[in-house]
Copies of this chain bind each other. A is one copy, B any other.
Amino acid sequence: MVVLLLSVPLAQAAFSQQLQTDPLASWNEGPAKAALNQFVHATTDQANPNFVPPEERIATFDQDGTLWVEHPIYTQIVYCLDRVPAVVKARPELANVEPFKTVLSGNREAIAKLSIQDLYEILAVTLSGMTVDEFQVEVKKWLASARDQRWHRRYTELVYEPMLELIKLLRANGYRTYIVTGGGQDFVRVYSEQVYGIPPEQVVGTAGGTTFGFDKAGRPILTKDPKLLLNEDMAGKPVGIHLMIGRRPRAAFGNSVGDRQMLEYATIDPGARLGMLVLHDDAKREYAYGPAQGLPDTKVGAFTQALYDEAKRRGWIVVSMQNDWRRIFAFGDGS
């Protein structure tokens, strides 16, 4: 019994210490932080009329621009471009065929001008033909060596600390946290557990088909097909959520028009529901883009004025990176 007797004051000390630690320490005080805390409190307090039973506590997060940097180019596109030389080595006939020729040239201006159709072709070729296990090994290797151009950091370091805290806070309160991304499901699953604490089965992403078979040693393999099965963008997000989760989220987090339908799906209904959009308005510490509030438009992650207006109308929280986030990255303030 000695251990038990001792454990009581120890537990109390740990608890009061926990109370003193702010789970959203990277957030500045303000309406966004207050709304997040209030939502967690209301939905987990059985005495609150907005209490949500544990099994219904589902929170969905877009990834690019919501959990990590998406500007000036989606990380997975960088991966695919980097893979082109290896693919051409295996299939030399592609060396003189566009768009592979342009990618191999290394001419950044020309690469930046590739069309969406060109990109799809590059994606199809670099993301299929291998087994899912081989793909996982390749992505892991790339993530370990590749560095971004601005901070010279691994891409998995470019995650937003305030969002990691929010994910943890929700999980600590019984929420199951899902990534719902236009990015590749197989790609994101490689690092989601390590980076976000989100296991592969809670990653819903754009996915191609796979084909079941056996390798020469008789071991079962799944080979990645170029055929698109799920496109987890725009209206594809609620569709994917229904397919993969089968429940309507209580909270959804995004940053662009690609997340609009997911937020609508999660929030338009009575009861406690929360929608949140990250506004990239911090050119100094990260980037500033999107026509909302007069920021420059880009082709990546558009936060349009119409989306901004809808957010205001529906009561979605618009998070200003500049004002609401005390700290952006774990490695520093990004400035």
Residues of chain A touching chain B, judged by Cβ–Cβ distance below 8 Å, are 1, 4-5, 8, 55, 132, 176, 185-186, 189, 193, 199-201, 203, 207, 209-212, 218-220, 222, 229-230, 235, 238-239, 242-247, 261, 264-265, 268-269
- Which of the residues B189, B220, B222, B261 comes within 8 Å of A268, measured between beta carbons? B220
- Which of the residues B5, B186, B209, B247 comes within 8 Å of A201, measured between beta carbons? B247
CB-based contact A209/B246 at 8 Å: no
- What are the residues of chain B within 8 A of A229 when measuring CB–CB? 229, 243
Q: State in angstroms the CA–CA spacing of A264 and B8 once bound together.
A: 50
- What are the residues of chain B within 8 A of A210 when measuring CB–CB? 239, 242-243
- What are the residues of chain B within 8 A of A8 when measuring CB–CB? 1, 4
A239 with B220, Cβ < 8 A, contacts A4-B4, A201-B247 known? no
CB distance from A221 to the nearest CB of B (A): 9
- Which of the residues B5, B200, B230, B268 comes within 8 Å of A247, measured between beta carbons? B200
CB-based contact A245/B211 at 8 Å: no
- Report the nearest B residue to A248, measured CB to CB: B220
- What are the residues of chain B within 8 A of A218 when measuring CB–CB? 268
- Report the nearest B residue to A264, measured CB to CB: B220
CB distance from A240 to the nearest CB of B (A): 10
- What are the residues of chain B within 8 A of A200 when measuring CB–CB? 245-247
- Which of A55, A207, A246, A269 has most B Cβ within 10 Å? A246
Query: How many copies of this chain sit in the oligomeric assembly?
Result: 2
- What are the residues of chain B within 8 A of A244 when measuring CB–CB? 201, 244
- Which of the residues B5, B185, B212, B235 comes within 8 Å of A246, measured between beta carbons? B185
CB distance from A69 to the nearest CB of B (A): 24
CB-based contact A222/B201 at 8 Å: no
- Report the nearest B residue to A247, measured CB to CB: B200
- Report the nearest B residue to A217, measured CB to CB: B268
- Which of the residues B1, B186, B193, B235 comes within 8 Å of A5, measured between beta carbons? B1
CB distance from A191 to the nearest CB of B (A): 13
CB distance from A315 to the nearest CB of B (A): 15
CB distance from A232 to the nearest CB of B (A): 12
- What are the residues of chain B within 8 A of A212 when measuring CB–CB? 235, 238-239, 261, 265
CB distance from A313 to the nearest CB of B (A): 12
